[in-house]
Structure 1
Amino acid sequence: MRFSEEVCERLDNYVYRLIDPRNGETFYVGKGRNNRVFDHAAGVLDVADDDNQTLGSKLDRIRAIKSAGLEVLHIIHRHEIPDAAVFEVEAALIDAYPGLTNLQGGHASSDRGPMNHLELIDKYSLPQFPSNPEHRLVLININKLEDRFDRRAIYNLVRYCWRISKSRAEKAEYVLAVVRGVVVGAFKPENWMSATRENFPDIPYANGSELHRIGFTGIEAPGDIWNLYVGLRGKRVSDPRLKHSQNPVRFWNC
């Protein structure tokens, strides 16, 4: 099945879901035009929009579905979307379906994604993060943090594991953990290394397939540094140069 040229023209931009027929689970959300949804459901690579790492988990799921003698289901969630709005529509749908095979979160999800009322109050009432920090910093956006005041949990989430340049990371004086645009932790890295089980035996989910990523071991930043960048309840990042977009890692002065 393919859309005709006439249908493609009427659809314009659209956002779609790929669904596993074995359990009804949505496993991928994407945006596209023309017959992109059919290509993705069939597992056709589109290097222009996705790199091989992005495609890996999605293709594994598609192959498993086909091996079971089934076809990927798909839904066009919204069509005729203006160019200026398509990223926002896609992001909202990605946020609504946890556990997707999408490598990246939705556009501006870390900054404007799902939050409860306390997170929103903190986001817009907390002190501002310094606009021109003097230190060499790595700001890393972390997810799945249950308690923003659990420093051990923050440390374990922010130190493992990231697809970044080791030589550049080693220039950083401090690593800052960011949740929904709020800095919640500051740590001094002592050693950056490959994200393997051998290097990180205390990380229960560490495995041998993350050789292309790195992590660090370190200590909490000194009290004056913590107060400068985190404070009592966190500091909100308002400078566009320091905000996260699609990439979970931002460098400053490195």
Structure 2
Amino acid sequence: MKKQFSKEVINKLKYYVYIYSDPETGEIFYVGKGIGNRVFSHLTDSEDTEKSHFIKRILDSGKEPKIEILTHGLEDDHTALKVEAAIIDLIGKEKLTNRVRGWQSGVFGRVEVNQLISHYEREQVNIDEPAIIIRLSRIFRYDMTDIELYDATRGGWRIGNDREKAKYAFAVFDGIVHEVYKVIAWFQAGSTFNTRGSLDNEITRWEFVGQKAEESIRSKYIKKSVEHYLPRSAQNPIKYVNIKGYNSNS
């Protein structure tokens, strides 16, 4: 296997997306993007990563990983990043040695068409009930299971006593409501079972236990935009709505 491209090939390839496969099984284990001779750099990478260890095992066996250029001729790094993210989402990160999902895959990765429509149409809705908006970021995926989304939304957060006044909790990504939960009670973070495992600094954080809101509430808000309450520029991922003056015992 050649370990570098000629200058002529590099000029014609431009930016590209590539894959590494196991030579015995044919299974893809890494997706990357690059320019120039980036595709070959992993063969001599000595970092302590799952990808590097996988490649070393193949080389130590006397074989070489299969390297393929999936697409090339891309004009810029931004486009290559989007393609890389889409491929990682298609294969599934759990089947790869990539340490992270593709760049902005939460926005540009694999997504069901109705969710994509709501993302771009961004129909604005006003919240009438006492609620807490919880913005999810890096941990969000469009293909999250119900329990994954619930556990990602409910905790643990650094919030004050006003949490007790919130009747509903909104799971929000990129300004769009993806689920609404009826809050039953708040507990110190880590004191209830969570599929995400233990959290750091649990003593200063809180998590709620709840259930999906009634259908009349869910249909009112899900796939609607609440970005006017919690803009992207806001650093705090939490926003109370209609809490002031609300008595949670009423």
Cα contact 2:189–2:207 (8 A) shared by 1: yes
Please, which runs of 5 or more residues in structure 2 have no aligned partner?
Answer: 241-250
2:179 corresponds to: 184
Distance in structure 2 (CA, Å) of the matches to 1:211 and 1:155 = 15
Q: TM-score, normalised by structure 2?
A: 0.61
Give 2:208's match in structure 1, choosing from 209, 213, 218. Answer: 218
TM-score normalised to structure 1 length: 0.60
Of 151, 155, 169, the residue aligned with 2:150 is 155
In structure 2, what is the equivalent of residue 51 of structure 1?
none
Contact 2:33 2:84 in 1 (8 A): yes
In structure 2, C-alpha distance between the alignment counterparts of 1:250 and 1:68, rounded to whole Å: 50
**Structure 1 counterpart of 2:30, one-letter code:** Y
Contact 1:136-1:171 at 8 Å conserved across structures: no
Distance 1:221 1:250 in 2: 24
- Aligned partners of 1:26 and 1:218: how far apart in 2? 39
Residue 251 of structure 1 pairs with residue 237 of structure 2: yes
The C-alpha deviation readout for 1:20-51, integer Å capped at 9, x for no partner, is 22311112211111111111244355xxxxxx
**The 10-residue stretch of structure 1 (102-111 or 214-223) with the greater mean CA deviation from structure 2:** 214-223
Aligned counterpart, 2:243: none
Match of 1:145 in 2: 144
What residue is the counterpart of 1:110 in the other structure? 106
Is contact 2:189-2:206 (8 Å) kept?
Answer: yes
Between the aligned residues of both structures, percent identity stands at: 26
* Distance in 1 separating the partners of 2:159 and 2:99: 27
Asked if residue 96 in structure 1 is aligned to residue 87 in structure 2, the reply is no
Please give the per-residue CA displacement for 1:124-163, whole angstroms capped at 9, x wherever unaligned. 67853669xx9574425145434xxx5x564245468xxx
Once residues 177 and 73 of structure 1 are traced to their aligned partners in structure 2, the CA distance between those partners, rounded to angstroms, is: 41
Query: Which residue of structure 1 aligns with residue 246 of structure 2?
Result: none
- When residues 56 and 189 of structure 1 are mapped into structure 2, their CA distance, relative to the original with a 3 A threshold, is farther
- Counterpart residue identity of residue 62, structure 1: I
What is the identity, as a one-letter code, of the residue corresponding to 1:71? E
Superposed CA deviations along residues 144-188 of structure 1, whole A, max 9, x for unmatched, are 434xxx5x564245468xxxxx8xx42485875457954214467
1:35 corresponds, among 31, 34, 37, to 37
Which runs of 5 or more residues in structure 1 are unaligned? 46-54, 161-165, 194-198, 244-248
Map 1:70-85 → 2, pairs under 5 A? 70-83=63-76, 84-85=78-79
Q: Which whole-Å CA distance do the structure 1 matches of 2:90 and 2:222 have between them?
A: 26
Native 8 Å contact 1:139 1:250 kept in 2: no
Larger deviation, residues 16-25 vs 136-145: 136-145
Q: Secondary structure at the match of 2:49?
A: helix
Structure showing greater relative contact order (alpha-carbon pairs closer than 8 Å, 6 or more residues apart) = 1
1:79 Cα deviation from its structure 2 partner = 1.8
Q: Cα 1:137–1:130, aligned 2, differ >3 Å: closer, same or farther?
A: farther
The 1:216/1:171 distance shift into structure 2, 3 A limit, reads closer
Q: Residues 136, 143 of structure 1: CA spacing in aligned structure 2 closer, same or farther, 3 A cutoff?
A: closer
State the secondary structure of the residue aligned to 2:74: coil
Letter of the 1:191 counterpart:
Q
Contact 1:183/1:237, CA 8 A, preserved across alignment: no
User: Highest Rg: 1 or 2?
Assistant: 2
1:234 corresponds in structure 2 to 222
Closer/same/farther in 2, CA of residues 121 and 73 from structure 1, 3 Å limit: same
Match of 1:18 in 2: 20
